[in-house]
Structure 1
Amino acid sequence: MAGAGEAIGLIETKGLVCHLVATDAMCKAADIEVLEQVSIGGGFVTTLIKGDVGSVRAAVDAGAQTASQSGELVSAHIIPRPEPAIIGLFVK
């Protein structure tokens, strides 16, 4: 789970290829951990990552830019110091 100095980041894309290249860019941009990938249907996929706030910010920025260039970025968001229950919604 995320600790006091950590954050979670979420990127939602439309399309598998866009999702894969965005996730790859996030992993290469910073020291983060991919927690979960959720497919909600219709080609929409959300990736949840965690790490320190700076790393998550850098990773989400890189992933969002890559997704915008390679497909369709739906949303990108960072939550610093998330409540553990939020992460529990995604990671079982």
Structure 2
Amino acid sequence: MKTFEAIGAIETFGLVFVLEACDAMCKAADVELVGYENVASGYISVIVQGDVAACQSAVDAGIKAVENLGAEVYSSVVIAGPHIDLNKIISRYQLNNLLTEEEGDAV
């Protein structure tokens, strides 16, 4: 897995709001959407990676987009210079891994 300068994440409630956040994040800055996790009972987290400034801009834009819809962002974070071992966690949420798991479920 490629190492990035930073990761950013937002957690909110509901797919519609997380889609709006993702769209705003990816449009606002040069970040790569890593993936998402449906945490529990509708809480969804989304993760992006890129350089520190891009991740901060993306997270700020995502928060604003969710708030503009009248929803609440429960938590957000930008981690500059993440430790290499965080890749062990982040790789679980990569979209290509999620697709592989779903395909395995269908068999």
TM-score (norm 2): 0.79
Confirm whether residue 23 of structure 1 aligns to residue 19 of structure 2: no
Q: How far apart are 1:86 and its partner, in Å?
A: 1.4
Paired residues in the alignment total: 90
* Structure 2 residues not aligned, in runs of 5+: 93-107
1:1-40 equivalences under 5 Å are 1-3=2-4, 6-40=5-39
Structure 1: unaligned runs, 5 residues or longer:
none
Q: Which structure carries more strand by proportion?
A: 1
- The code of the aligned residue for 2:37 comes to V
Rounded Cα–Cα distance in structure 2 between residues aligned with 1:62 and 1:2: 23
Q: Which runs of 4+ in 1 moved over 2 A?
A: none
Structure index of larger Rg? 2
Following TM superposition, by how much is the alpha carbon of 1:90 offset from its aligned partner in structure 2, in angstroms? 2.6
Q: CA RMSD in A?
A: 1.1
Post-superposition Cα deviations, 1:26-62, rounded to whole Å, max 9, x if no partner, equal 0000010011201112110111110011111100000
What's the CA shift for 1:85?
1.2
